[in-house]
Amino acid sequence: MLVMGVDPGLTRCGIGVVIGTPGRAELVSAGVIRTSADLDIARRLLQIELGLEEWIAAHHPDAIAVERVFAQHNVTTVIGTAQAAGVALLVAARHGIPATQHTPSEVKAAISGSGRADKAQVGLMVARILKLESAPKPADAADAVALAICHAWRGAAAARLAEAADRGSPRPTTWSQVIAARSVS
């Protein structure tokens, strides 16, 4: 599964693309979409949209993982981050690409084993998982890569369960049913 992770932000919107399956991941590309604080919000959001369109055109992801915005102390930052996340979800929908939001603690737990890992631990684990000498830079790109890895590892199983439900199969309720559903697809 080719997954594009989006760490939303107005100044730096992190983007990471990985190809992965549960337990395995390989980096395809990582970077950021930058906007100037001198521009009005509408222009900044437009630049993010255009940047996302370029990334999608270049990589054709199967899925997009966006960080779920959570309340912080700085309301202005939260609003801008939420707007950037909304643009990412909109662009995904426009292209018919499934988009999923993951919480920061979910991503941290998937990458490091602890939902309370700090940025340095997540960056170290991203580098280790991808067999890189160091995590992608800047940190927004590394966070986006972590999102993509999280989705490749967790989202694949969720997608199989959703497909089983769509085929009219009863939803698995035990681990043995989940394993059986995996062997069918």
- The catalytic residue positions are 7, 67, 140
Residue with tokens 């292209």: 95
- Are 147 and 136 a contacting pair, CB within 8 Å? no
d(CA 153, CA 48) in angstroms, rounded, equals 26
User: Which one, of 70, 60, 58, lies nearest residue 92 by Cα?
Assistant: 60
Q: What is the DSSP letter of 39?
A: S
**Within 10 Å of residue 98's Cβ, how many Cβ atoms?**
16
Task: Report the Cα 91 to chain-centroid distance in Å.
Answer: 14
Q: List the beta strands (DSSP E) in the chain.
A: 2-7, 12-21, 24-34, 63-67, 99-102
